[in-house]
Structure 1
């Protein structure tokens, strides 16, 4: 099954701090919905851009996408 990386972008001087906090909400969602998802995270892109992300399988992407409204997504290659 193909894996997808759902991505939320944050920009500005506090982008990394906001992305780190957003990951907490992603983990809370996984726990609340009792999803079998293991990978969430955040990472800096530049000094003024950071992302939070969640790795999902293609079959459970649509309900998660509709509920959480990620900014973008891409195929996860790991």
Structure 2
């Protein structure tokens, strides 16, 4: 089954702190809803841009996307 990486971008001087805080809320959502999502994380692209992501099976993407409203998504290589 294909997996998708849902992404939230954070820019500006506090991007890393904001990304870390957002990841806490994503993990709370995953636990609260008992979702089978194991892959989450933060990537710092440069000093002004970080992103938070979670990887989800394509079949479950739409409901998660509609609820959490990621900024973008991409296919996650297996």
Q: Normalised by the shorter chain, which TM-score bucket?
A: over 0.9
Instruction: Give, in angstroms, the shift of residue 20 of structure 1.
Output: 1.0
Unaligned runs of 5+ in 1: none
Deviation at 1:43, TM superposition (A): 1.3
Partner-residue secondary structure (3-state), 2:65 = helix
Q: 2:65 matched to which residue of 1?
A: 65
- Across the aligned residues of Structure 1 and Structure 2, the Cα RMSD in angstroms comes to 0.6
Q: C-alpha offsets along residues 3-45 of structure 1, whole Å, 9 cap, x if unaligned? A: 0000000000110111111111110010011101101111101
Structure 2 portions without partners, runs of 5+: none
**Deviation >4 Å, runs of 4+:** none
Task: Name the TM-score, length of structure 2 as normaliser.
Answer: 0.97
Number of the residue aligned with 2:3: 3
Kindly tell me the number of residue pairs found equivalent between the two proteins.
78
Structure 2: distance between partners of 1:20 and 1:55: 17
